[in-house]
């Protein structure tokens, strides 16, 4: 059976819902929807909208109001749901939620941004190193992983507009890209690049300078899978025409 997983940084779920997010979801009908940067507490959302669409909902907001947070919606009931990494400084920001479906585990992860200054860039690099150690430990228990979310890193020159203009900016720093190289070298696969090697396929555009209309974007949203899942991955795409956010959804289809 094929299942489709979407990942979408909505940059504020209430704002996205004001742009007919639920109408889009009714049409799209992914089996699993990983959300990042929900910026909302559960009680601030009319969750019955998603109940009517047939989704079980698992929310992990940040402690700070209006900031960060992840969620995972799914058609099938997970065998297990785990909130956070067990590291307070990341869990307080609602960075990760895990759901197990049979032998497959799906993670919705919102990687930190370092764009606001040196302190947050240091926090981001610490998160990257701690996350890799954490996910490698999880992989011993759950080898079939789909790690979905906003990684806040464009990996290669083809993943960003005018790369030499950005190589001193958080999100395209050499050390961040080197971390992604190391991560993939541990036996993980960028599922989109299994099917599409074209440049200029972006998932995020700045709200500044009319960047989306000019297609001056970055590809920073991914479904990364453990390599043992490769035979079961049947497709991946970027839905650039879906507009509720400065990001767009990315998809992967796998055989459960």
Catalytic annotation on 150?
yes
Question: In sequence order, what are the residues at sequence separation of 6 or more whose Cβ sits closer than 8 angstroms to the Cβ of residue 252?
Answer: 4, 5, 146, 148, 191, 192, 223, 225, 233, 235, 236
Q: What are phi and psi of 126, to 5 degrees?
A: -65, -40
Q: Buried b vs exposed e over 155-178: b needs ≥16 C-beta within 10 Å?
A: beeebbbeeeebeeebbbbeebbe
CA nearest neighbour of 167 among 157, 182, 152: 157
CA distance 65 to 40: 7
Given 31, 79, 150, 246, which residue is catalytic?
A: 150
- Convert 152-173 into a string of H (helix), E (strand) and C (coil): CCCCCHHHECCHHHCCCCCCCC
Which residues belong to the active site?
150
């Amino acid at each position: 059976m094929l299942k489709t997983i979407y990942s979408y940084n909505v940059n504020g779920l209430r704002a996205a819902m004001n742009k007919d997010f639920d109408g889009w979801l009714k049409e799209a009908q992914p089996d699993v929807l990983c959300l990042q940067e929900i910026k909302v507490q559960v009680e601030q959302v009319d969750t019955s909208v998603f109940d009517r669409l047939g989704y079980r909902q698992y929310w992990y907001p940040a402690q700070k109001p209006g900031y960060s947070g992840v969620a995972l919606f799914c058609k099938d009931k997970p065998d297990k749901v785990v909130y956070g990494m067990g590291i307070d400084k990341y869990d307080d920001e609602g960075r990760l939620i895990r759901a197990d479906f049979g032998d497959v585990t799906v993670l919705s992860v919102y990687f930190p941004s370092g764009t606001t200054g040196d302190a947050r860039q240091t926090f981001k690099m610490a998160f990257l190193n701690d996350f890799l150690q954490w996910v490698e430990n999880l992989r011993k228990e759950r080898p079939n992983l789909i790690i979905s979310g906003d990684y806040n890193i464009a990996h290669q020159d083809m993943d960003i507009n005018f790369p030499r203009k950005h190589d001193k900016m958080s999100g395209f720093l050499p050390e961040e890209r080197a971390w992604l190289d190391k991560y993939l070298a541990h036996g993980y696969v960028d599922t989109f690049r299994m099917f599409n090697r074209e440049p200029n396929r972006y998932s995020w555009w700045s709200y500044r300078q009319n960047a989306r209309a000019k297609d001056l974007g970055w590809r920073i949203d991914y479904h990364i899978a453990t390599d043992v899942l490769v035979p079961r991955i049947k497709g991946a795409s970027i839905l650039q025409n879906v507009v509720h956010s400065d990001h767009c959804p990315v998809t992967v289809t796998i055989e459960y």
